[in-house]
Amino acid sequence: MRNIRFREALREAMIEEMERDDRVFLMGEEVGHYQGAYKVSEGMLEKFGEKRVIDTPIAEGGFAGIGVGAAMVGLRPIIEFMTWNFSAVAFDQILNNAAKVRQMSGGQLTCPIVFRGPNGSARQVGSQHSHSMEHFYATVPGLKLVAPSFPADAKGLMKAAIRDDNPVLVMESETLYGVKGDVPDDQDAIPLGKAAVVREGKDVTIVAYSRMTHVALEAAAALEKDGISAEIVDLRSLRPLDEDTIVASVQKTHRCVVVHEGWPYGGVGAEVSDRVQRLAFDALDAPILRVTTWDVPMPYNAKLELACLPQPDRVVAAVKQLVRRAQG
């Protein structure tokens, strides 16, 4: 067991899979000579050379399309977006080619490709660089999507994504790259579609993923001081979604709060809420609540940005609202 940073865990996963399978290669803006915009690919150019660690122009639609074509003819590309905000330029390649080629070819073609990069808000990067893009992509049949919260999960899910024969989107919170965590020396792939209960509790289920899992853990620590025991389900995988783990937790706690970084209209939180009310309605003692980013473009101002994003105090307030309702 080693204590390493989130970015180091991602790097290890890519290196190990590139060593295991010579069809795997990395391509994106600044992944090579600059060592990665966030240093995730540091040292990989020196190790694998320019044929397998490929710097690209600022042309997301172009290099995403090259990756899709390479995957269709038998390679296994890892395509890095400098930020998932920029993937909007490549949306057609992901939506209309990567996601659909298996079905539209009658299974004659597959698209084993990974799209990865930082997602969500950072710190004062403005509204055009602060989108939580998972809500857009999780709606698309044919895509798989993961959003790890801890280094061990980042490594395990990345390895699984690279080995998968379908397009997998790995969305990494920009604010988690420096976070440290224990990673087993023999960390293998973590199956896609499996959530994890990262904190046991009995009074309320808090469902979260990526950076919001850390916000939920802070909220749970504050709630414990008031005698409220919160169980936290870290989704890890958004599509496929592990509804069994969510439902089992809600049946245990009888209350549910979903926390996600993204706008409230539609999205992952709404999908989780729908499944809980359909599959665990009789277990609920109170309505399902969501804690989300406010329904506005992200402000640049630091205080306004913090006010927009889900914070532990907002999660605490939502939980206490449910507990008061049940007690009243």
Examine the residue annotation and report whether 135 is marked as an active-site residue of this protein. no
Contacts of residue 46, defined as CB under 8 A and 6 or more positions apart, other chains included, come to: none
Mark 70-91 as b/e (b = at least 16 C-beta within 10 Å): bbbeebbbbbbbbbbbbbbebb
Task: Determine the Cα–Cα distance for residues 179 and 161; give it in Å rounded to an integer.
Answer: 21
Catalytic residue among 8, 17, 29, 60: 60
Distance from C-alpha of 145 to C-alpha of 138, rounded to nearest angstrom: 7
Cis peptide before 118 (omega within 30 of 0): no
Identify the residue whose tokens are 């180091």.
8
- Quick check: helix, strand or coil at residue 17? helix
Cα angle 87, 89, 91 (rounded to 5 degrees) comes to 65
User: Does 60 qualify as catalytic in the annotation?
Assistant: yes
The catalytically annotated residue of 8, 80, 129, 305 is 129
Residue indicated by tokens 């400098």: 82
Cα-based angle 272, 274, 275 (whole degrees, multiple of 5): 65
Which residues does the annotation mark as catalytic?
60, 129
